[in-house]
Amino acid sequence: MTDNVLSDYDETFSSDLRGLAPPWRPKHALLRLWNTYWDYQARRATAVILYALDDRVLADIGVDRSEIESLAFDTSEERMRRFVSR
């Protein structure tokens, strides 16, 4: 009798999970967390590398030192590049 109740519960619970979007499933949530962590680490490494460059090299690649944070961490894609007219 107990086995039947548990199997009914398992079937109901698993069918409820099938309707959920993938980010709500534990496996997908952990994968998304893992990918977010490594994305942040890559962005932080980019900022560290750019801060290590001198101003002349940054100017050669068209980046001002004040733009490094927005280059590395801004994900909005709305950032406009600074153009200097000569």
In this prediction the pTM is 0.57
Alpha-carbon Rg for the chain in angstroms: 24
Question: Is 10 within a domain?
Answer: no
In this structure, the number of other CB atoms found within 10 A of the CB of residue 8 comes to 10
pLDDT at residue 55, rounded to an integer: 94
What is the tens place of the pLDDT at every residue in 3-56? 555 555 555 555 555 555 555 678 888 899 999 999 999 999 999 999 999 999
Question: Is 42 within a domain?
Answer: yes
pLDDT at residue 53, rounded to an integer: 96
Angstrom distance (rounded) from CA 72 to CA 50: 9
Question: Is 33 within a domain?
Answer: yes
**Helix, strand, coil shares, percent, the chain, to 5:** 70, 0, 30
Written as six digits, the tokens of 65 are 């030192």
In this structure, the number of other CB atoms found within 10 A of the CB of residue 2 comes to 6
Question: Is 16 within a domain?
Answer: no
Question: Is 7 within a domain?
Answer: no
pLDDT at residue 73, rounded to an integer: 87
**Host domain of residue 79:** 21-86
